[in-house]
Amino acid sequence: MKIILATRNKGKVKEFNVLAEGTNLEFISLPEEIGDLPEETGTTFQENALIKAKFAFENCGGTPCLADDSGLEVKFLDGAPGIYSARYSEEGTDDSNTHKLLKDMHGVPKKDRKASFKCSLVLIGKDCDHSVEGSFEGEIGTSLKGKNGFGYDPIFVLPESGLHLAELNQIEKIKVSHRSIAFNKLKAVLEVSR
């Protein structure tokens, strides 16, 4: 089954290609000529994923489209950056966002550094409309570590190993992440084999 990924985030595209390995799903990038995805005006990850999936489906000639809306919720910051994860800092780059978060968490004790990654996936096709979610718990570190992954991976610490997510390779991250938890639910709904 061919599915267009309704995202402009290269980190997500890489991860979905790994997730699709061994399944009968083939992910295709969103055609460049479609332009930018619409503004994310929803109030939840699910609403924003729906906005992106709908837009892609309406502009891609009937091919099924999958959108991912995801982000990081930090308990001490009352759930921020949440749905604003990609635009947390003024510049809105991975680098500036992670540095802003480290600054906002400066001096906060370890016990109050709990955070979770959330991922909402929406798949829209001619005969299908599915929505699933995944969540992954950890904590915010006090420095950047690792070169892999994207976004907030260098400051997200895994509870058991103490490793930062960016220290894991792609396969190791995929085994534990919010994105793979959501994707496994989607596979179950679609009854896709591995």
- In the complex, the residues that contact ligand ITT under the rule CB under 6 A are 7-9, 12, 37, 40, 52, 68-72, 85-86, 94, 97, 117, 149-153, 177, 179
Strand positions, DSSP E, 32-113 = 65-74
Residue 151's closest CA among 108, 119, 187? 119
The residue behind tokens 């995944």 is: 134
Q: What is the DSSP string of 98-121?
A: HHHHHHHTTT--GGG-EEEEEEEE
Which H, E and C letters describe 125-141, residue by residue?
CCCCEEEEEEEEEEEEC
Q: Is there a contact between 57 and 123 (Cβ–Cβ < 8 Å)?
A: no
Closest CB to ligand ITT among residues 29, 63: 29
Nearest residue (CB) to ligand ITT, 24 versus 91 = 91
Q: Residue with structure tokens 């991860």?
A: 15
Could you say which of 69, 94, 127, 153 is catalytic? 69
**Catalytic site residue 69?**
yes
Minimum CB distance to ligand ITT, residue 86 (Å): 3
Cα-based torsion angle of the residue sequence 175, 178, 184, 190 in order, rounded to the nearest 10 degrees: -150
CB of 34 to ligand ITT, least distance (A): 12
Q: What residue number has its CB nearest to ligand ITT?
A: 151
**Which tokens in the block code for residue 88?**
């947390």
Report the residue number, 24 or 96, with the smaller CB distance to ligand ITT: 96
Q: Output the smallest distance, CB 191 to ligand ITT, in A.
A: 26
Q: Which CB atom, from 78 or from 127, has the smaller least distance to ligand ITT?
A: 78
In the complex, least distance from residue 4 CB atom to ligand ITT, rounded to whole angstroms? 12
Q: Which residues are catalytic?
A: 69
